[in-house]
Amino acid sequence: MKIQHNISLKPYNTFNIDQIASSFIRFEELQDVINFVKSGELKSVKYYILGGGSNILLTQDFDGLILHPDIKGIDIVSEDEKNILVKIGAGEVWEDFVEYTVDKEWYGIENLALIPGRVGAAPIQNIGAYGIELKDVFYELEAINLKTGELEIFDLDRCDFAYRSSFFKKKPGKYLICSVSLKLSKLKSLNLTYKVLSDYIANLKVDEITQRMVFEAVVAIRNSKLPKPEVLGNAGSFFKNPLVTNTKLESLKIRYPEIKAFEVDDKKSKLAAGWLIEKTGMKGYREKDAGVHDKQSLVLVNHGCATGKEIFELSEKIRTTVFNLFDVRLEREVNVL
C-alpha cells in the first residue's frame, strides 16, 4: 500500500477520459483503510473515492489523493434452505458477481446483469434495471468512517435508499464502502414486471422460464441499446428519469399523446428521459467526440477523444433543450468531478 503520483485516471473511468490525479492509493485490505485513516494522512489532503469509475465524469485534473478500494472476496455468511447471505468485497466486478450467482442458482440479481462498475459502488446510487433495485436484495454493508477510521455497519434503513440515491450519494466522501452483503434466494423467484423484459421472454415461447434465460435476456437487451464502455466510453444513463406531477403529465399528453411515462403513485409519474431527449431530435447528436448514443438517448458517449468538459457542455445543452420544449428539468445521475 503506497501512494503513487501523477497517475492517469483513464483506466479508472468508463468514459475513458484522460485526466491526471496528483496522487493515488489502492486498498486491497479493509485493515489497510483503517490504518491509513488512523495515521491522520487524510486530514490534510483533498481526496476522492474512485472505484470502477462507471458513474463519473472527470472534467479536470484532480489535485489531490484518489482512494481506490480494491478489496476482493466472496464469502457465504449464512444459509438455510430458502436464502443465502453473501458478503462481497467492494472491489469485485459487479457483472462478474451477477454471473456467479446465476451459475450458483442464487436468485435475485439476474435482472441487474451487465451493469458496469464495482460491487462497492452498487449501493451508492442504488443501481437498478428491469424491475429490480439493489435495495431489494440488500442486507447490510461495511464502511470505514473516513474521519475516525472506525468500521461501521449500515443496514437497509441507515442506507436511506431511493431511486438512484442513498445516504452515500447524499454525503459523498464521508465513508469508504469495503463490503456489501446481499440476501439472495435459493428458491426460484423471478421478476418479469418490466415490460421490455417480459415481452422478450414471451417471444422465446418456452414452457418453463429459467433464471439463466432471464439473465441472458437482460444481457441481450442491454447489448442492443447500451454501448460497452471498452468500445465506446460512457457511464450508462447520464440523467435520471424525472419525476413530474400527474397533472403535469396530463398537460404534456395533450401535446404528446405518445409520451413514455411510468406511474409512481396517484400523484406522481416518472417520464422516460430517453424519450424526451429523442423527441428534441438529439438522439445520435454529436459535437466533436462528445455525443448522444444513437440507440439510447439517455446515454452520452465519448467517441474517442472527448474531454470531460465537452461531455459536460453537451449535457447542459440537452438539459436546456429539454427544458425549453417540455418545461421539465433533467437531473444528472452521473457524478461530475
Q: Is 54 labeled as catalytic in the residue annotation?
A: no
Distance separating alpha carbons of residues 276 and 196, to the nearest angstrom: 18
In angstroms, rounded to a whole number, what is the distance separating the alpha carbons of residues 204 and 199? 9
Residue carrying the nine cell digits 409519474? 269
For residue 215, give the C-alpha cell: 439473465
Of 198, 200, 94, 195, the C-alpha closest to 137 is 94
Q: Which is nearer to ligand EPU, 101 or 234 (CB)?
A: 234
Minimum distance from residue 121 beta carbon to ligand EPU (Å): 11
**237 forms part of the interface with ligand EPU (CB under 6 A):** yes
Of 270, 272, 251, nearest to 260 by C-alpha is 272
CA distance 99 to 216: 10
112: contact with ligand EPU by CB under 6 A: no
CB 4 within 8 A of CB 20: no
Residue 333 annotated as catalytic: yes
Task: Exactly one of 110, 142, 310, 333 is catalytic; name it.
Answer: 333
Q: How far is the CB of 108 from ligand EPU (least distance, A)?
A: 16
Is residue 253 within 8 Å of 259, Cβ to Cβ?
A: yes
Helix %, strand %, coil % for the chain, to 5? 30, 30, 40
Residue 61: CB minimum distance to ligand EPU, A:
26
Return the number of the residue (41 or 331) whose C-beta is nearest ligand EPU.
Answer: 331
Binding-site size for ligand EPU (CB under 6 A) equals 20
| Residues 26, 1 contacting (CB under 8 angstroms) | yes
Rounded Cα distance between 46 and 213, Å, is 46
Q: Shortest distance, CB of residue 237 to ligand EPU, whole angstroms?
A: 3
Q: Which three cell numbers stand for residue 248?
A: 403535469
Shortest distance (Å) from residue 248 CB to ligand EPU = 18
> Which residue's CB is nearer to ligand EPU, number 32 or number 278?
278
Instruction: Closer to ligand EPU by CB, 64 or 131: give it.
Output: 131
Q: Strand, coil or helix: what is 118? A: strand
Contact set for ligand EPU, span 192-211 (CB under 6 A): 194, 196
Residue 118 or 240: which CB sits closer to ligand EPU? 240
Contact string (CB under 6 A) for ligand EPU, positions 176-195, x = contact: ------------------x-
SS3 285: coil
Site string for ligand EPU, 288-307 (x = CB under 6 A): --------xxx---------
Residue from the set 16, 126, 166, 241 that interacts with ligand EPU by CB under 6 A: 241
- Detail the DSSP E strand segments found in 104-209: 128-129, 132-133, 138-145, 151-155, 175-185
Q: Which is nearer to ligand EPU, 193 or 247 (CB)?
A: 193
* Number of other CB atoms surrounding residue 93 within 10 Å: 14
> Helix or strand or coil: residue 188?
coil
**Is the distance from CB of 3 to CB of 44 less than 8 angstroms?**
no
- Residue 169 is a binding residue for ligand EPU (CB under 6 A): no
Closest approach of Cβ 201 to ligand EPU, in Å? 14
* Measured distance CA(282)–CA(317) in Å, rounded: 10
Work out how close the CB of 333 gets to ligand EPU at its nearest, in angstroms, rounded to a whole number. Answer: 5
Q: Which is nearer to ligand EPU, 183 or 240 (CB)?
A: 240
- The only residue of 89, 108, 236, 291 in contact with ligand EPU, by rule CB under 6 A: 236
- Would strands 290-292 and 286-287 be described as parallel, antiparallel, or unpaired? antiparallel
Question: Which residues within the stretch 255-294 sit at the binding site for ligand EPU (CB under 6 A)?
Answer: 260, 272, 274-275, 278, 283
Contact residues for ligand EPU, defined by CB under 6 A: 129-130, 194, 196, 225-226, 236-237, 240-241, 260, 272, 274-275, 278, 283, 296-298, 333
Q: Which residues are catalytic?
A: 164, 237, 333
